[in-house]
Amino acid sequence: MFIVPSYGVAVALCFVTMLCWGSWGNTQKLAAKSWRYELFYWDYVIGMVLFALLLAFTLGSFGSEGRSFLPDLAQASASSLLWILVGGIIFNASNILLSASISLAGMSVAFPLGVGIALVMGVVNNYRVAVTQGAKTGNVTLLVLGVILVVCAIVANGIASGRKGDGEVAKADQKKGIVLALIAGLVMSFFSSFVMRAMDTTNFVTPEAGKVTPYTAIVIFTVGVLVSNFVFNTIVMRKPFVGEPVAYSEYFKGDFKTHLVGVLGGSIWCLGTALSYITAEKAGPAVSYALGQGAPLVAALWGVFIWKEFKGAKKGTGVLLAAMFILFLVGLACIVKAGM
């Protein structure tokens, strides 16, 4: 299987993770022109599963190092598989809430608030797991400083979100979107640490028996998302946060292009997540997770400059947004340095 050769390559791939995690929301925005997010989410999850299998049978099966996908899956312990499935279920619960938040408050609000909170708490959870496993943890002082700066960026974004101009979304729905983003972030912060428990993050070449490689982890993870989606998304379809209930029959009325947009979104997210797992050995679970969760910066850029989500905002909002970007950048720089 493909194994990251160095910390420098791991950091570069972590930035790809950040781009993927911060960009998949564009596909939801595109689909929203004619498609409810609850229906989009089914295609999104299907895209995740298909892309995870593609990675497992290519990068996860080629090469001479490590265990290839099928042998690795066969030797995995029940506890390892259970940890990953639980991680997938937790992620799905949080991501449905995040998708709802995007539809209500926009990318430039939902991601910095929701994923920003997930970054802060997720780094703590992953750091704890790394210490337990004896994996790489990095410079704790710089890691904490980076997280604090990200928290400041979240605060700046939260203030800016309250200064948005009147648009297509009502103020009440915007507030609901903010609340959903906060809840999503709290729940999302736990999923990665469950997955890391099932992986031997100290040695991908000869991983511990019973534990799995990143490629097996991403497949089982997406299966957990898919299975739990029949529960979570069904509930949201019947009791939506806004609008009328959505019937399953509506899903089959979508054209090929509409479904493809959702599958693309899931594939983009899956690539980012797989790279986060693949880089965990060289960068450390805490650093690889934290760098990937710089996604709010990317999402905010899309939301502000491409989707014009702050058009007509009150005077001074631009200063808050600039502060958010700067704080995120400096915070991410501290996190990169922490792992060196």
- pLDDT tens per residue, range 138-189: 788 998 898 889 888 878 877 887 776 555 556 777 788 889 999 999 999 8
pLDDT of 105 reads: 83
pLDDT of 214 reads: 96
Lowest mean pLDDT among 98-102, 134-138, 249-253: 134-138
Collapsing DSSP to helix, strand or coil, 212 comes out as strand
C-alpha separations of 108 from 65, 215, 236, 272 in Å: 41, 31, 23, 19
Q: Given a cut of 70, is residue 254 above it in pLDDT? A: yes
What is the pLDDT averaged over residues 75-100? 95
Residue 311: other Cβ atoms inside 10 A:
10
Burial classification of residue 240, based on how many CB atoms lie within 10 Å of its CB (0-12 exposed, 13-18 middle, 19 or more buried):
middle
Q: What is the mean pLDDT of the chain?
A: 88
What is the pLDDT averaged over residues 35-61? 96
pLDDT of 73 reads: 97
Q: Given a cut of 80, is residue 134 above it in pLDDT? A: no
Dist CA 292 CA 207 (whole Å): 24
Return all residues near 305 (Cβ < 8 A) that are at least 6 apart.
none
Answer yes or no: are the C-beta atoms of 225 and 48 closer than 8 Å: yes
Return all residues near 208 (Cβ < 8 A) that are at least 6 apart.
200
Query: Considering the chain, what percentage of its residues have pLDDT values greater than 70?
Result: 95
Dist CA 210 CA 197 (whole Å): 11
pLDDT of 257 reads: 94
pLDDT of 70 reads: 97
Q: Given a cut of 80, is residue 137 above it in pLDDT? A: no
Q: Given a cut of 90, is residue 69 above it in pLDDT? A: yes
Dist CA 282 CA 5 (whole Å): 8
Query: Nearest 10 degrees: CA dihedral of 323, 325, 326, 332?
Result: 140
pLDDT of 83 reads: 97
DSSP letters spanning 124-135: HHHHHHHHHHT-
Nearest to 265 by CA among 57, 34, 51: 51
